[in-house]
Amino acid sequence: MTASPGLAPWEPGSPPSSNGRRPAAAAPGGPRDLDELCQHFLAVCESAVDPLEISSALEFDGITDQAAREQYGFPDIFALAGELYRRVPRHPVEPQPQPDPWAGSPLRPALHGLLYGLPAVCYPAAGGLLAGPHVLPALIVALLASWALSQGLAHVGYLRLGQAGPASAARLLLAGMPAGIAGVTLALAVAGLVLHAPRPPLIFGVGLGAYMLGATVLLILGGERLLLIGLAPGVLGSAAFLLLHRPAPLQHADWAALAATPLLVSALAAALAAREAGRGGTGALLVPAELRAALPSMGFGLVAAGLLVFPDAVGLPGGRGANVGAEIASLPLALSMGAAEWLLIWFRRRTQRLLRGTASLPAFAARARLALLAALAQYLLVTAALIAAAAWVASAAALADPDWTVAPEATVYLALGGGMFLALLLQAFGNRVVPVIACGAALGCEVACRGLGVPGQLAACAGLLIVLAGYGAVLMGTAVRHALLQATT
């Protein structure tokens, strides 16, 4: 390390002082007068916030009250430190750049988006195998239960991961995954009794729940590659089945491929969690405080799943068939969650730079809101491009025949995606109640206005987007919200 001008170099083995700096080595015989003393402690005095910091450095350097009286003419080292503080102007050293808490590979959000989107390939293939009465209500129950329980498990898993480390989180996840699968199974058993649904959709629903909960465990513990391996049978088998136009002789093979994915993902998740748990995890499996903290996340999973499935579930008004626009837009919306994750990281980095480089609170608020608007605009552009690409692929592969008449249905999902992005951003900044309430209100409006068809759905989703954008602009304009996030990261 280069010494400051006029100062002796720091000795490598000397311990740091109470102010975090290493004391300068005393010249032979020590400084003879105040001018030499000021020069000797120049770095400390320039950066000191008060005389006490200087007195600590003096004491650490061996200057006692007796030396202050006999050599420098002051009654004690506190008076001597006060004189040094008055003589030396303040020139604090710029702090070292803080490490980026969100540094990481930019490819990871893209991989997550792929993992979120790939399972959507399985639904069209399974749809042809699950035809019959009461199938759709059973699948809706499975989706609602799976989303709610997986969101709750994700919240407590990440909470435990941050507080106690991977081993403790793995122990919780290892117990929580089968408990969640049991919850999905119970919900489907009740639905089967009430709806008199046939067994195939109930079995498929249990598999859906097992996949979502297993995928949650793998993502929390960093097992993205294992999740990709587990997805391979169902995705490849379903893609081949669809590209061959659902041939009847391959139905059993497709069923086998679809069944292999949840079984494989669950097994891989259990193996990874058991391995991590064996590294010394301690603590209770689940404490009441963690369960209470997970309730908003479970509620969000429930209403978010309802918003995603509602347009496709009700079809078009007047019994005019399936909502092709909703079916085409659902896969791009899942893929867009990778872009949402990357843009959330981008927004966090941007606002942390604004915290360090903006002098006034009004200026910070204005720039943070512009950053929020930029992140939302980028997300909507990416999602719109993905929807357009999905429509082209569906038409080229003869899976659907979309035209401009599906644009309103696709716009519903685009607005819904924007609302989901803002809801996730607000939750990342510690506000989890308002997104649940807003999404629940939007779902209630869609159900109440279901007779209006697509215009009613578009009004509800656009309203959700506007409300969360307005609330987010207010909340993200407060510097304390970003400072608290930085302090807890």
3-state SS track over 65-120: HHHHHHHHCCCCHHHHHHHHHHHCCCCCCCCCCCCCCCCCCCHHHHHHHHHHHHHH
Give the burial class of 48: count Cβ atoms within 10 A of its Cβ; 0-12 exposed, 13-18 middle, 19 or more buried. Answer: buried
Tell me whether residue 317 is in a domain. Answer: no
Looking at the fold, whether 168 and 273 belong to one and the same domain comes out as yes
Residues 381-400: what's their mean pLDDT? 81
pLDDT at 98: 58
Is residue 394 within 8 Å of 328, Cβ to Cβ?
A: yes
pLDDT at site 357? 75
Residue whose C-alpha is closest to residue 170's, from 75, 89, 283, 46? 283
Please state, for a pLDDT cut of 70, what percent of the chain lies above it.
83
Within-domain flag for 445:
yes
Q: What is the mean pLDDT of residues 253-264?
A: 94
pLDDT at residue 163 is higher than 90: no
**Pairwise CA distance, residues 182 & 176, whole Å:** 10
Q: What pLDDT shows up at residue 94?
A: 59
Last residue of a domain, one of 94, 117, 148: 94
In a domain, 305, yes or no: no
Q: Once rounded to an integer, what is the mean pLDDT over residues 80-93? A: 84
**Residue 245 banded pLDDT, cuts 50, 70, 90:** confident
State the pLDDT at residue 313. Answer: 75
Residue ending a domain, among 244, 273, 293, is 293
Domains: count for the chain = 3
Statement to judge: residues 168 and 279 lie in one domain: yes
Sequence-distant (6+) residues with CB within 8 A of 299 are: 148, 436, 440
Q: Is pTM beyond 0.85 here? A: no
| Most confident listed range (295-299, 310-314, 386-390) | 295-299
* C-alpha to C-alpha distances, 29 to 5, 13, 36, 59, 134, nearest whole angstrom: 20, 21, 12, 16, 94
Cα-to-chain-centroid distance, residue 11: 45
Span 365-374, mean pLDDT? 93
Q: Which domain holds residue 281?
A: 107-293
Binned at pLDDT 50, 70 and 90, residue 100 comes out as low
Residues 131 and 277 in one domain: yes
Chain-centroid distance of CA 336 in Å reads 14
pLDDT score of 46: 84
Q: Looking at the domain assignment, is residue 308 inside a domain?
A: no
Confidence of residue 25 (pLDDT cuts 50, 70, 90): very low
- Tens of pLDDT along 10-22? 233 333 333 333 3
User: CB 223: neighbour CB atoms within 10 A?
Assistant: 22
- Regarding whether 244 and 170 lie in a shared domain, the answer is yes
pLDDT at 222: 92
Within-domain flag for 208: yes
Give the whole-angstrom CA distance, residue 289 versus residue 293. Answer: 6
pLDDT for position 356: 75
pLDDT band at 104 (very low <50, low <70, confident <90, very high): low
Cα–Cα distance measured from residue 152 to residue 168, given in angstroms and rounded to the nearest whole number = 17
259 and 357 both lie in a single domain: no
Rounded to whole angstroms, the Cα distance separating 71 from 74 reads: 8
> What average pLDDT does this structure show over 339-348?
90
Q: Which two tokens stand for residue 227?
A: 């999740």
Q: What is the pLDDT of residue 397?
A: 65
The answer to whether the beta carbons of residues 314 and 148 sit under 8 Å apart is no
Sheet strands (E) in 378-478 = none
3 state DSSP class of 134: coil
What local confidence, expressed as pLDDT, does residue 466 receive? 97
The contacts of residue 323 (CB under 8 Å, 6+ apart) are 311, 312, 314, 315, 316, 409, 454
Higher-confidence residue: 50 or 204? 204
Give mean pLDDT, residues 175-191.
95
On whether both 354 and 408 belong to a single domain, the answer is yes
Assess whether 81 and 189 both reside in one domain: no
Residue 48, pLDDT > 90, answer no
- pLDDT value, residue 267: 97
Q: Say yes or no: 409 and 342 in one domain.
A: yes
354 and 453, same domain (yes or no): yes
Residues 127 and 193 in one domain: yes
Length of the chain: 489
- The CA distance from 252 to 31, in Å, is 91
pLDDT at 9 over 50: no
- The model's pLDDT over 439-471, given as tens digits with 9 standing for 90+, comes to 999 999 999 988 888 889 999 999 999 999 999
Lowest mean pLDDT among 156-165, 191-200, 281-290, 296-305: 281-290
Residue 2 has pLDDT above 60, yes or no: no
342-368 burial code (b ≥16 CB/10 A, e <16): bbbbbbbebbbebeeebeeeeebbebb
Is residue 126 domain-resident?
yes
Whether 41 and 66 map to the same domain: the answer is yes
Single-letter amino acid code for the residue at 461: C
Flag whether 370 is in a domain.
Answer: yes
What is the mean pLDDT of the segment spanning 283-301? 83
Considering the domain architecture, whether residues 289 and 333 belong to the same structural domain is answered as no
Q: What is the pLDDT of residue 258?
A: 93
pLDDT of residue 12: 31
Please indicate whether residue 132 or residue 213 has the higher confidence score (pLDDT): 213
Token pair of 335 as six digits: 């893929």
279 lies in some domain: yes
The pLDDT assigned to 99 comes to: 57
Range of lowest pLDDT (4-13, 111-120, 258-267): 4-13
Higher pLDDT pick, 285 / 275: 275
Which pLDDT band holds residue 102 (cuts at 50, 70, 90)?
Answer: low
Answer yes or no: are the C-beta atoms of 276 and 221 closer than 8 Å: yes
Q: What is the pLDDT of residue 483?
A: 58
Express as a percent the part of the chain with pLDDT over 90: 39
